[in-house]
Every structure is written in C-alpha cells, then in structure tokens.
Chain A
Amino acid sequence: MGDIARLIGQRFGLGLIILLAISIIIFFMVELLPGDIAQAVLGQSATEDNLAALRKEMGLDKPAVVRYLAWLKDAVLFDFGNSVVTQEKVTTIIGDRFLNTLFLAAYAAVIAVPVSIALGVVVALLRNSIFDRVANVVTLSFISSPEFFLGYILILYFSVNWGLFPAIASISEGMNFLQLLERTFLPALTLVLVVMAHMMRMTRAAIINLLASPYIEMAKLKGTPPWRVIVSHALPNAWAPIINVIALNLAYLITGVVLVEVVFVYPGIGQALVDAVSKRDFPVVQACCLIFASTFILLNLAADIGAILTNPRLRHPK
C-alpha cells in the first residue's frame, strides 16, 4: 500500500502546483489592466485624490507580490475580500450560490451517469448496427448544439407548449426537496442531455477498445457466454476508463452550468460570474474563477487517482 499512498501524494502535489500557477495567472491578469483597478472602478473622471484614497484602501500602494501573497493567504481561508461594486463581502455574495450550483450539478450527474454508462455499453455491444449509427448521429447533434439551444427548446416544449415544468428555475428558502427538484428539472435536463452524449460516446469508445483485445477474443473462443465475457472479463478492466469518463464529464458540467444558469435564471455561481464580468467586479470574478478552476482540477485529480486504484499497471510505471 505504501507506494499507492506515495503515488497519490505525488498527484496531489502536482495538482497543488497547477492550482498555484492558476492563482498566479488569475491574480496577475488583473494587474495587466490598462491603468489599475482603482481607475477601472472610479472611471476616467475620478480625481487624483479619490484615486489615491481608493488605492490606499485597497492596498494598491504595496508591491504586487506582497498583495498576491496576502490575497492567496485569505483565499485559502475562503476570504476573497470585498466586492468593488456593492462593497459586500465576496463570500456572502457567492456562498449560497455555490451551494445552488453544486446542487444543480449533482442533480444532473445523478441522472446522467448511470443512464449514459448503461447506454454506452449497450451501444458498444450493438456496434455498427442501425441503432448504433442513429445513436452516433443523435449524440453528435447534442454535443454540437450550444447549451442555450437545448435549454430554450426544452423551455418551448416542456413549459410553454405542454406546461409541465416552470421555465424559470427560481428557488427560495422555504421550499421542500420535491419542489426544488421540480423547479430545477429543466436546467438539470439540459445538462443531462449534453453530458450524456459525451459520456455515451466515450464509454462506447472505451468498451470497444477493450473488446478488441486478445484476452476477450480468447474468452469468446473458449465458449464463454457473452454476458460473462462482459461482466467478468471486460468490466473489471473497463472501470479505469469509465471512471475517467465520469470525472472528465463532471468537470465539463461545471463549465456548462454557466450558460444553463443564465438561460434558466438560476441563482448559481455561474450567473454571479457573468454579472461580475459585465460590471467589472474583479474580486468576484477572481473568486469565481478560482473556485471553478479548483473544482476542475480536483475532478481531474479524482480521475487520475481512480485510474491508479483500479488499474494496477499504472502503479508500476516503467
């Protein structure tokens, strides 16, 4: 077990280093602003005195490296400073929204993961049949459509024409769980459709890749029934690619969520990010970017570790 722990430790270290590099990019990108933040906040007409006062208040008179270290220290403790537009604490602005986004992503994932893996396996088994071709074209169409296209089509049919689900996913404090599920059904379904198409294709590719290997051929030749070939020969080796597929697509979910939240006016972190970008509220933008990027890295890390745990070959790199 010792070297597994060491390998996982190494991956964690690598993830941390990448995260650090990203935080540097996110912080110093804002430094590239023509002028500086104070200028951008107050506008061109600001007087020198006001600018100087704001710079002092935001600590802009200190060198960038010092400010970066201070920002990083606070960010690790989930304190991203104050919004430059509303003066509220960034944490209070995005705290609840982050939970909402996580809820939406989890909702979509719970539906999408089992269905798409099952379908992917079925399609892989029926490869080159009519069913497979149709599935190929349909999934390709879903991948190629922008999220807002799918979202608006769902709104048109499910809420305007048939009146089944609300078009706007507004949620409030006192709602019970079922109401919550109903309100957020359409945004979740949009995400499910996009992610499912990706996952099905990737699962199909992984399984087909596996079924072409010699030991599967051997199992078939010695007369093992097809379901046994799948369950006891193919599946144990398919876990690594499948875990990879899941993690990659969950990572994809968190970017897809931005557009879907805007379409359905869902109070999530993606909408906060878009608002902050158009208002040029840099602390909020930085915080959102850091949160999205770390979730992304964490999921990729999980994929790596999952692959190492399920595939002994990766534990002994040559």
Chain B
Amino acid sequence: MFVIVYFAALLVGSSVAAYFNQRTPFLLLFTLTLVSMVLGIVGGRGALEMVAIGAGVLAAAAMVSYGFKEFLIQMAEGDAGAFLKGGSTLLTALAVFTALTLMSFWFGWGITEIFVGLIMLTLILAPLSPETAKELRTAPLTAAFGMFVIFIYAVLGIFAPWIAPSGEAEVITQAFAPADENLLLGADQLGRDMFSRIVYGARNSVGLAIVATLSAFILGALAGLLAATKGGWFDQFMGRFADVIMSIPSLIFSLLMLSIFGPEIHVIIIAVAIIYAPRVFRLTRAVAGNVVVMDYIEAAKLRGEGTWYLIRKEILPNSTAPLVAEFGLEFCFVFLLVAGLSFLGLGIQPPTADWGSMVRDNATLISFGDITPLIPAAAIALLTIAVNFVVDWMLFRSSGLKEN
C-alpha cells in the first residue's frame, strides 16, 4: 500500500512538473523515483522507506528555510530595523529595557538573559531594511537554512533555563535510563536528563566559542589595523610573529597551553585568542593594506588625524564585509577546536553541560547500538554547517567573487 501511494505521488509530481515546463523540480522528482525503484528492488521495503524519509526530511528543511527567508524579507521590507536608527534610538532602547526589567520581576528572568536577549534583538533587527531585503532575495536556500538553524540555536541558548525540563547538573534518575515521556532522550552516565543538558550545552559550548572567537578577532584585527597604518618594523615584526604561531598545529598548541595552565575557561579563551589571532591579523592586514594606499587616507593624514582616528573612521568602515565573513569562518574553526578539546576532557569542566564532553562520557552507549551520544556531536556539526552556509553566501556577495 505504502509503496503504491509513494510511487503514484512521485509520478504525479513529476508529470505535473513536466507539464508546467519546470525543469529542475522535474529532474529532482524523477531522479528520486528512479533511485527509489532501484533501491526498492535491491534493498526491499526498508531501504525504500529510508529514501522516502530522507527525501521528506530534505523537503521539509527546504520548505522551512524558504519560509524563514520569506519571513525575513517581509520583515526587512517593513523596515523592522528602522526604529533602531535615527534620533529615537536611545528612547526606544530605554523603553525596551524598562519593559524587559519589569518582565524580569514578573517572570524571574536573570539580568544576563535580558542583556544577551537585547543584544540579539538589536543584531537581528538592525540590518533589516529595504536594501537588505533585495540582497536576501538572492540568498540561496542553503543560506536561509543556515540562518534558520542559527536562530534556533540562539533561542535555545538564551532561554535554556525555561526550555530545559530539569536542571543542568540535576541527577533525576539512575544512570543510562532509557527514554520515556518525561525523559525525551533518556539519561546520561550519572542519571541526568540528556535533553536538558543538550539545551544547556547550546549556551555553554556556543557561548565559549563566541567569546573565544571575539577575543581572537579583536586581538588580530587590532594588530592588523595597527600594522597596516604604522607599517615599518612593527609591521615586519608582527608578520613574522604570526608566521611562527601559524606554523604550529592549532590543536597541538592549545594542548600545550592547557597542559601548563590547566583546563580552565579563561585559559581556553586566551589560548584560542593567541592561536587564531594570527589568521585574523593576516586578513585584516591584507584588506586594510589595500585601503591604506587610497587618496582619502592620504588626505586624512595631511589633515593631521591620529592613528586611532584613521583606523576607526577611515579604514574600518571600508573593510567590514570581508571581516564579517571571516568572523563566521573563524567561529567554525574555534567551535570545532573547543569541541575537540572538551571531547578530550580538557574543555569546560563538569558538571557544566558541554557537547564535546557529553559525547565522550556517553560513548559506551554506541557499542549497544544507541545513538544518544551522537546527538550532541550532531548538534556541533549542524551549527558549523549552518554557519558555513551563511558565510559561503556572504563571501560570494561581498567579494563579488564569481567563479567561472
């Protein structure tokens, strides 16, 4: 029955696509039909269902991303970010802040959540304007999917205490308890709720990666901008120094630093900052180097402006696009490095929930064919993929880099 309905649906779909002369959907549907036929003959019903589920998941993901993209475009066309610009910015910010503070009394929200929530709100709304709507229209589905995933992770991370049914380090049942209605994903090796820990992990793992990337970025970008404006021996020295640091494999270097200073959060942040700053330095140096030779910089110099003014007002605004894309890329590297470290037991220390160490702690379950330990790992992979998709699109857009 399932087989007949499935094939009928596929054939009807491809016929409709062919009738309306839609080449891509037709090819897609017909390929799916052929693949299902071959797999159905070779692998039987099980394989057929796998293909159907896979295609269904892909289609659902595509639809969700399309919907999210349209939603963003609508928001942008309605100029949702406008109220943050102009003269009333301060007033609006004050109003929102007061509202949130009141809510914090009613619902018992912490001040950190409010602060992070405010920053997120500004970050999401500020760039939404009619100009971005035009650019959003050109975004491929993969980029929209990436943005959607990032949005979900942000929500999970910020509102973790309200989403998670039980506390981060709360032991509620016996070790490795199987999943039921109360425990969505079962319990971990100490009897803590796996689902709650994954939700909290979105806050801890991603938060650490963001802070580490930010510090690497600030360090590297400042050094790069300074080197580009000052030039001379400072430039030379920083360049050679960056060369040396970059020629040590990053995982090895961070292991060295962690072995000496112990696995603590601030050590991880500093280590990552030192390891990844040279990469940012290189890029900033190259981008700013192209800006520095412009005539308007010369004019500003002749006006007698200082180095800091030059960096802030002349160079930075003209080199933001590649820097933002680099930030995304850098975040992926840092996120994977930090996940690797915590997988090795050298990241955020227990009982704080962290995706990398959760994989390691529950790895024994895999030999019983249980996929629970893979979920945090998949969470890491999914976020990295999402960021990569968005960065791909931004790089393509900002550099006008057209292959071919």
Contacts and interface: CB of A to CB of B under 8 A. Distances in A.
Interface of A: 18, 21-22, 25-26, 29-30, 32-33, 127-128, 130, 137, 140-141, 143-149, 152-153, 155-156, 160-161, 167, 208, 212, 251, 254-255, 258-259, 262-263, 273-274, 276-278, 280, 282, 285-286, 288-289, 292-293, 296-297, 300
Interface string B370-396: 010110011011001100110010000
B359 A156 contact: no
Q: Classify the secondary structure of A's interface with B.
A: helix
B258 interface: yes
18 contacts: A22-B244, A22-B247, A29-B256, A144-B332, A144-B336, A145-B381, A146-B356, A148-B360, A149-B380, A152-B374, A254-B249, A259-B344, A262-B343, A277-B346, A289-B255, A293-B247, A293-B248, A300-B247
Interface stretch (B156-164, B297-305, B361-369): B361-369
B343 A276 contact: no
Contact of B377 (A152, A251, A296): A152
> Which 3 A-B residue pairings sit nearest by Cβ, starting from the closest?
A144-B384, A149-B377, A145-B381
Contact of B260 (A29, A148, A262, A274): A29
B340 interface: yes
Given A29-B256, A140-B389, A144-B332, A255 B250 contact: yes
Contacts of A255: 249-252
Contacts of B258: 277
A274 B381 contact: no
Contacts of A127: 403-404
A211 to B, nearest CB: 8
Given A26-B256, A152-B359, A296 B389 contact: no
Contacts of B377: 145-146, 148-149, 152
Nearest to B332: A144
Contact of A297 (B247, B340, B363, B389): B247
Contacts, number: 137
A152 B253 CA distance: 25
Contacts of A143: 388
B257 A29 contact: yes
B366 to A, nearest CB: 6
B404 A156 contact: no
B239 interface: no
A258 B337 CA distance: 12
